[in-house]
Amino acid sequence: MAVLLLAYIGLSTVVTNSYYQLMLTLVPVWAVLGLSWNLFSGYVGLTSFGHAAFFGLGAYTVALGLTMLNLTPWIGIPIAALLGAAAALLIGLPTFRLRGHYFALAMLAYPLLMSYLAQYLGLQEVSLPMRRDAPAAWLQFSDPRIYTWLGLGLLALALAISMVVENSRFGLSLMAIRQNELAAEAAGINVRMWKMRALMLSGAMAGAAGGFYACILLVVTPEAVFGMLVSAQALVVALFGGVGTYWGPLIGAAILIPLSETLHAELGEIIPGIQGVVYGAAIILIMLLAPEGLFWSLRDRWSRRSAEALVPGAIPVPIQKLPVMPAEAVAPKAPSGRTLLEVRGLCKSFGGLKAVDDVSFSVKEGTILGIIGPNGAGKTSMFNALNGVLRPDRGEALLDGQQLVGRKLHEICRLGVGRTFQVVRSFPRLPLLDNVLVGAYGAGLADEEAVAAAREAIARTGLSHLTDAPAGGLTNKELRLMELARALAGRPRLLLLDETLAGLGREECDAVLDVLHGLRAEGMTTIIIEHTMHAMLRVADELLVIDRGRVLSHGMPREVVEDRMVIEAYLGKKWLAQCST
Ligand SMILES: Nc1ncnc2c1ncn2[C@@H]1O[C@H](COP(=O)(O)OP(=O)(O)OP(=O)(O)O)[C@@H](O)[C@H]1O
């Protein structure tokens, strides 16, 4: 990165043509805006079509600060960044209620709104007054190269922020949200707060870029700073280069800005609006050839090639074929006999459907409670009501005396409830360790402790040999264990496992059951939903049968499976009649 930066500085010193000199200044500006877009949309996964709102706000702040308040851009740009963050807060508060396409479309409205506001206030064209007396103090240099160097300085700052974010719990939390909001929240991540932080940081970055842009252009108009092309440029450079990495906007800006500006300079008179054509063509090409962006495509190709080069002619051994180590042994702990979870009269309805109907049960510390029931019986809804995904209509759930009902998902996680979901969500490009680390961060553990907790959880699930393997190469069983490790990394007191054995063969199932036995031996309390009866009989200390939202039976596994009501619920009255005859 430093070498590239030095090369760029070298290039800027030899270019003399003023148009190309301006182009060299614009590359870092659009790269900063791309980084700002990537910081929010790339990591969180919510597409923003409205980053021009922050950019334009920054540009107008600097321009108006200079013309009306005699404020130097050296102060104006930091204020532009602060206002960008404040605008992000105001925009985020109502807009985070929307998801997916609705969020993206709503974001379109903000730059439009600001553009109309600027026109209404008579700010169609704000020219920055000339202050040639003290160029350094007013950021008005006659040597265009200085702007390029300042732009590079701004880029270096934005890059440093992006790197810190990407390699910290901040970035990992955002990526977890991007993959699966619900699972991230269940891992203890306060989704709304992290999204807001990301948008505010992104808004600040875009505001600063806009402020600097005003100093380069010297004239600020609504179209130039709030226009659709501004938001599009932020998005296109990041998508083209690769989202979810700071390299993406850099690569995108370094290729697309010179290309579009050169074409504009050479062909602008014959084909007006050629820049828009370049961006459109770039997006179409990238979608067809490298949908995840140039960086990821090149990196994947590079890693494939180096894997082949490592053992010429040999077929690389897939990660999933590595021998599976047994879970590391831990001294067994006798169950204390204390009640850890007490559920009383839990109810949850969807319209007229009673999905959970007056469910009461308790779980003793250090035991495994298996929950079975036909499809649609209300098992997952009960889990959701227990760990805060759904708010129960009535009833209570006490974890060691602490009320869970009424608390948010991440709060319940921090109280000591770990959860896995029916569908495993991994972060395929990240190593197993990072995938598990999300759970430790979510539980609020400090950096070093979080890494230790993640490694410990990986060891407890017997995946230590895969610690650095990317999750994308794991088998179904390993992914299930990885999700279990993520739940364990938060050091929970109660584990809620939703169909952890789903889709596994007999041998794989046995391996996961061994891990669950190991956890019980360590004193872990677990509630597991499962359809596979043989597995339930092997692992559960008690069984709870739910049918049409109600508890049908609760007791020792052997007694429960011989219960006539249970057999009827599973196999129907006809079957029961045949059995009796
Ligand atoms: N968000 C929702 N809105 C409306 N109905 C829902 C919702 N979630 C679940 N249901 C309904 O509640 C009932 C119980 O569903 P639930 O997913 O809890 O059952 P389950 O026992 O977990 O089933 P399965 O074993 O198939 O996962 C079903 O009839 C389902 O259609």
Convert the pLDDT of each residue in 179-215 to its tens digit.
778 778 877 888 899 999 999 999 999 999 999 999 9
Q: Summarize the confidence of residues 33-45 as an average pLDDT.
A: 92
Note whether 472 and 318 are within 8 A (CB): no
Query: Based on C-alpha coordinates, what's the Rg of the chain?
Result: 29
Give yes or no for residue 245 having a pLDDT over 80: yes
d(CA 97, CA 107): 12
Domains 7-300 and 339-580 share a fold: no
Which alpha helices (DSSP H) does 96-190 contain, by range? 100-120, 135-138, 144-166, 169-179, 181-186
Q: If you measure from the C-alpha of residue 222 to the centroid of ligand 1, how many angstroms do you get, rounded to a whole number?
A: 50
Q: Which of 38, 52, 48, 475 is nearest to 292 (CA)?
A: 38
Burial 157-194 (b: 16+ CB within 10 A, else e): ebbebbeebbeebbbbbbbbbbbbbebbbbbbbbbbeb
Instruction: Give the pLDDT of residue 577.
Output: 61
pLDDT mean over 44-55: 92
Cβ atoms of residues 580 and 571 within 8 Å: no
CA-closest residue to ligand 1 atom 1: 350
DSSP 8-class letter at 134: S
CB 486 within 8 A of CB 456: no
User: How many Å apart are CA 374 and CA 357, to the nearest integer?
Assistant: 15
Q: Are 458 and 431 in contact (CB under 8 A)?
A: no
The response to whether residue 549 sits with its C-beta less than 6 Å from ligand 1 reads no
434-484 pLDDT tens trace: 889 988 888 878 888 899 999 999 999 999 999 999 888 889 899 999 999
pLDDT tens digits for range 379-419: 999 999 998 889 999 999 999 999 999 998 888 988 999 98
Sign of the alpha-carbon torsion through 90, 114, 153, 11:
positive
Write the residue with the smallest CA distance to atom 12 of ligand 1. 355
Cβ–ligand 1 contact at 516 (below 6 Å): no
Distance 58 CA to ligand 1 centre (A): 48
Which pLDDT score, from 0 to 100, does residue 572 have?
61
Among 310-319, 342-351, 373-382, the range scoring the smallest mean pLDDT is 310-319
pLDDT band at 34 (very low <50, low <70, confident <90, very high): very high
- Under a CB-based contact definition with an 8 Å cutoff, are residues 363 and 341 in contact? yes
518 lines ligand 1 (CB under 6 A): no
Residue 354 has pLDDT above 80, yes or no: yes
Pocket test for ligand 1, best of 350, 386, 423, 550 (most atoms within 8 A of CB): 350
Which of 208, 286, 294 is closest to 245 using CA atoms? 294
Domain coordinates in residue numbering, the chain? 7-300, 339-580
- Average pLDDT over the chain, rounded to whole? 87
Q: Which atom of ligand 1 is the closest one to the Cα of 390?
A: 1
Type of residue at 196:
M
CA distance readout (Å), 531 to 278, 304, 424, 552, 553: 54, 39, 17, 16, 16
For a ligand 1 pocket test, name from 346, 347, 353, 548 the mutation site with the most ligand atoms within 8 angstroms of its C-beta. 353
Task: Supply the residue whose CA is at minimum distance from atom 17 of ligand 1.
Answer: 380
Architecture of domain 339-580: 3-Layer(aba) Sandwich (3.40)
Q: Is the CB of 381 under 6 A from ligand 1?
A: yes
**Is residue 60 within 8 Å of residue 123, measured between CB atoms?**
yes
Are the C-beta atoms of 397 and 405 separated by less than 8 Å? yes
What are 316's strand-pairing partners? none
Sheet holding 402-403, edge to edge: 353-364, 339-350, 394-399, 402-403
Ligand 1 proximity of 275 Cβ (cutoff 6 Å):
no
Ligand 1 neighbourhood includes 373 CB (under 6 angstroms) = yes
- Give yes or no for a contact between 128 and 244, defined as CB atoms under 8 angstroms apart: no
Provide the CATH number for the domain formed by 7-300 in this structure.
1.10.3470
Do the beta carbons of residue 80 and residue 207 sit within 8 Å? yes
